[in-house]
Amino acid sequence: MVERVLAGDRLAVSRLISAVEDGAPEAESALRALYRHTGRAHIIGITGPAGSGKSTLTNELVKEYRRRELSVGVIAVDPTSAITGGAILGDRVRMLRAYGDPGVFIRSMATRGRVGGLARATRDVIRVLDASGKDIVVVETVGVGQDEVDIASSALTTLLVNVPGLGDDIQAIKAGILEIADIMVLNKADREGANELLAQLRHNLSFSHPEPGEWRVPIQKTVATTGEGIRELVDTVGKHREHLKSSGELQARLRASLEEELVTLVQEAVGRRVRGRLAGPECNNLLEGVLSRETDPFSAASRLLREVYNGQKSH
Ligand SMILES: Nc1nc2c(ncn2[C@@H]2O[C@H](COP(=O)(O)OP(=O)(O)OP(=O)(O)O)[C@@H](O)[C@H]2O)c(=O)[nH]1
Ligand SMILES: [Mg+2]
């Protein structure tokens, strides 16, 4: 499986992604083996309100990257039903497949029943596509919540899509979400209100004062339905990547997200062991002791941790 994924075999890639999504045990061993072949792709996150044109933009980005002879993987994270955005993307998937282009791989992931682990599953799917040799991986997420922020932490360049005609309150330019944007995209620039939105975005961005040498978030106007502004957008993504590399920010970001990942993995591993131990008979006395106020939860936790840790060392 690993050999075939590394060779870019579509069926193997597709099967491994399914295994990752299902949290299957063989997925982890494959991911371990693939890891040293990752880190080559540029990861682009596209986020913004529903219907802002993210899928249409993604489609245009894919076309432009293909023109530049780069291969592309697309992950569409669809939190809603398969009927809305998913179906629209589905059409585009068929369109690109009909084109018979082996340099493009598109996959949609549903969030149903996996809210907590979505960012993790997305990160692992990105790794599979990266290892399979894709030069660019585009991750489309709908909405402006914590999930999007978490998923965006896997992206190296995050595009935040804004469109004219949405009220201030649902505009993605609000509050915290602004901070995850590396590039502001003003899509549907053909629509009424585009100039007002441009002025508003400029105003909002004027509050951040990047130091000399820091990245200044640019605003790129696009009309995804006609492809207008896409070439410039791809150029801007390239500039951002260069900036990340030359400023050292790339290493800093990768390191920070690795630290987060390790904390999570260790938490999960310790949690599993502690739960396993609590389920066994050895812990009856410990639990009873806390319930009867003989001891307290803090001391019990320290003891559990020690027991679990010693157990691990003796194995
Ligand atoms: N006028 C105009 N319409 C656009 C533009 N870009 C996209 N659209 C239209 O907007 C609608 C939504 O486009 P999608 O690409 O599906 O938007 P999305 O953000 O992926 O939608 P969800 O995934 O459902 O959140 C479609 O009817 C597009 O044709 C644009 O630049 N101008
Ligand atoms: Mg979409």
Question: What does the block give as tokens for 283?
Answer: 């812990």
Distance 197 CA to ligand 1 centre (A): 17
Instruction: Identify whether the C-beta of residue 27 lies closer than 8 Å to the C-beta of residue 139.
Output: no
Of 131, 126, 136, 127, give the one whose Cα is nearest residue 104.
Answer: 136
Cβ–ligand 1 distance for 289 under 6 Å, the answer no
Burial (CB < 10 A; 0-12, 13-18, 19+), residue 274, is: middle
What Å distances lie between residue 110 and 80, 81, 128, 263, 279, CA to CA? 8, 8, 17, 26, 33
188 lines ligand 1 (CB under 6 A): yes
The pLDDT of residue 83: 42
Single pTM value for the model: 0.88
Report the CATH architecture of 39-247: 3-Layer(aba) Sandwich (3.40)
Place of tokens 């006609």: 226
Pocket flag, ligand 1, residue 187 (CB < 6 Å): yes
For ligand 1, whether the C-beta of 224 sits within 6 Å is yes
- What pLDDT shows up at residue 82? 43
Residue 50 Cβ < 6 Å to ligand 1: yes
142 lines ligand 1 (CB under 6 A): yes
Q: Ligand 1 mean position to 224 CA, how many Å?
A: 8
Q: What are the structure tokens assigned to 245, written together?
A: 């590399």
The structural domains of the chain, with segments of one domain joined by +, span 39-247, 258-314
Which residue out of 46, 47, 55 has the highest number of ligand 1 atoms within 8 Å of its CB and is therefore the one to mutate?
Answer: 55
- Which residues lie at CB < 5 A from ion ligand 2? 54-55, 85
Question: Chain centroid to CA 306: how far?
Answer: 35
- Cα(188) to centroid(ligand 1), Å: 8
Query: pLDDT tens, position by position, for the chain (315 residues)?
Result: 899 999 999 999 999 999 998 888 899 999 999 999 999 999 999 988 888 999 899 999 999 999 999 999 999 886 554 444 444 555 555 555 546 788 999 988 875 545 447 788 889 999 999 999 999 999 998 765 666 667 777 899 999 999 998 765 455 455 556 678 899 999 999 999 999 999 988 988 887 788 888 999 999 999 999 999 999 999 999 999 999 999 999 999 999 989 989 998 899 889 999 999 999 888 899 999 999 999 999 999 999 999 888 865 444
Q: What is the pLDDT of residue 97?
A: 54
Residue nearest to atom 3 of ligand 1 (CA): 188
Euclidean distance between CA atoms 159 and 195, whole angstroms: 19
